Amino acid sequence: MRIGLLTEGGYPYVRGEGGAWCDRLVRGLPHHDFDVYALSRSPRTESAGEVETPPQVHRVSRERLWGAAPESPRASRSEAKARRAAFRTGFRDFAAALAGGSAVGAAERADRFATGLYALADLAADAPGALPALLRGDDALAELEAACRAPGVRPVLADLVVTELLIAADLLERQLRPLSAPWYGPEELGAADVCHAVSGGPAALAGLLGKRFCGTPLIVTEYTVRAREALLAHRAAGLPPAVRVLLGDHHRLLAGESYRQAALITPGSTHVRRWQERCGAPKERMTTIHPGIDAGRFAGAGAAAEAAAQADEQAAHSDPTVAWVGRADPAKDLIALLHAFHAIRREEPQARLRVFHLPAADERSAGYLDHCRTLAAQLFPDEAADAHAVGENPVSFEEIGSPGAPEPADAYAAGDVVVLSSSAEGFPLSLVEAMFCGRPTVSTDVGAVREVIGGTGLVVPPRNPRALADATLDLLRGPGRAARLGAAARERALALFTVTTCVDAFRDSYLDVVAHHPVRRLPLLDAQGAPRPFTTPAESLSPSRLAPTPPHPSWTPVPAARP
């Protein structure tokens, strides 16, 4: 079958979120054809280049969510007047839904958002290239201001000033650029059997239009909740409160519409699933599919841990080592880890902490890493065995790729116990990698940690250095128990989190969606006017279905024909 893969800030770009698992998914399904529709978030995304795509990727189309908006095409006075009138009508509903106003309830607000959104999409289809300029124009500002001044809106919006209106209009225009993408014709998403948005937000918006204009069923996959990510990013960027409220409501309403229209929703964890349900995702159309991780990179470390356990090499080490592996970031809470290790050293004076970190992604991460080094130097002065020995610090910071840890597997294998100290987390990939290596783990109870680890590791409350220290000491002093937990963790990871498990789940999902929601399109004709063979999937010709379904899903209207 033919799959339209919709991405934002990830595949096929080297630098981006979700690129690795998308690449593994595409390579794991060589008998399917993929068309990739990629949205770039920033110049930094594009600067690192793109991965080499496999032969089953037939096309890569790119659009930007950054930079200056494209110029509006020239139009006659009557055409421009008609466009402005249509825009004001659609954007009025869209802005009123964002502001809330005197809407009766959540359902009415969601309906008004969808009405306005699809009206803007129809305008973008009728007048290609005209929408971005309209979204930045005076009409958009006037309608947005009127919506924020309407009776019943929240006080934070009622006090909106002009500068905040300009910021909000600019950011909304960027978020709505998929409306103007040239992806919704019969040779683009109209030729796909499935649209697969690998994140929410703008990628899912493109999938909504693929369904509306082409009737192509939509799958939405989220390993992190895009609406929640956006809220946190807006706060970190220091946006004014009123702007954060408008953009936050846009992301929440868009998420709700995406979930309502999707044929299938595949959260990456129960943690993500709960957020999706809060945004209106129907439980009957949700299937959890964990991200697939390449277990082969950690096979050697895992086999070594298993061999050591079978050989009963469980005596406590004279210098027990605690390892942390990941990208240094405030959410990883290395500060709590350092304070926990300070308590561990009081009980185990020979213990060592090795912090294996990836290269800093930006100045913020680099600054946080420097702060952690400074704190470690204050908490743990260099120590020497005698007056003639060189002092050493029990805490070391080592970059993955250095001689001490050329590969992540070496970093995990260096620790008797691997610790995850995060104060916030989505799907903890580093925890799964430690499990592949057969290492016993102590983790904070954040994100999907409890779901991932099951009963094969110790879980403590976040931001509690004392609890983190006590749990780590239990494993350092009980090597037999630690070995049993590590072996159980490895078996669990191999059963649930491999690439094969993930790819098989998506293969079944594609087949199920195509069988229940076949795309009804006109046959493609060759040069002689005869229908081309194999342009209709075999599933759509099946005399029976896995379950009786109407021609179109009952929760959505029949897709409108694109003019």
Three-state SS for 122-165 is HHHHHCCCCHHHHHCCHHHHHHHHHHHCCCCCCHHHHCCCHHHH
In a 3-state reduction of DSSP, which class is residue 251?
A: helix
Q: How many CB atoms are located within 10 Å of the residue 341 CB? A: 28
Q: Among 26-35, 436-445, 473-482, 524-533, which is the least confidently predicted range?
A: 524-533
Q: Which of 126-130, 317-321, 503-507 has the highest mean pLDDT?
A: 503-507
In terms of pLDDT, which residue wins out, 506 or 527? 506
What average pLDDT is seen over the chain? 89
C-alpha 42: how far from its chain's center?
A: 16
pLDDT band at 432 (very low <50, low <70, confident <90, very high): very high
Report which of 173, 180, 179 is spatially closest to residue 135, judged by C-alpha positions: 173
pLDDT band at 404 (very low <50, low <70, confident <90, very high): confident
End-to-end CA distance of the chain: 26
Backbone φ and ψ of 287, nearest 5° = -140, 120
Q: Among 286-300, 437-451, 510-524, which is the least confidently predicted range?
A: 510-524
The alpha-helical segments, DSSP class H, found in 176-225 are 202-214
- CA–CA distance, 285 with 516 (Å, rounded to integer): 12
- CA–CA distance, 424 with 229 (Å, rounded to integer): 12
> Any idea of the CA torsion for 496, 546, 271, 216, to the nearest 10 degrees?
110
Looking at residue 548, its pLDDT comes to 45
Cβ-based neighbours of 322, under 8 Å, separated by 6 or more? 341, 344, 351, 352, 353, 354, 415, 416, 417, 418, 419, 472, 476
Across the beta sheet with 2-8, the strand order is 57-64, 33-40, 2-8, 194-197, 218-222, 264-267
Report which of 87, 28, 39 is spatially closest to residue 508, judged by C-alpha positions: 28
What pTM did the predictor assign?
Answer: 0.86
Domains of the chain plus CATH, in order, are 2-67+181-225+255-285 (3.40.50.2000), 77-170 (no CATH), 295-497 (3.40.50.2000)
Residue range 377-390: mean pLDDT, rounded:
71
Distances (CA, A) of 309 to 303, 312, 432, 487: 10, 5, 20, 8
Relative orientation angle of helices 241-261 and 106-126, to the nearest 10 degrees: 80
Looking at residue 46, its pLDDT comes to 87
Cβ-based neighbours of 10, under 8 Å, separated by 6 or more? 16, 17, 18, 19, 22, 38, 198, 199
Looking at residue 312, its pLDDT comes to 60
Looking at residue 545, its pLDDT comes to 46
- CA–CA distance, 452 with 432 (Å, rounded to integer): 7
C-beta separation of 439 from 413 below 8 A: yes
Q: Among 163-177, 311-325, 422-436, which is the least confidently predicted range?
A: 311-325
Residue range 152-181: mean pLDDT, rounded:
93
C-beta separation of 56 from 2 below 8 A: no
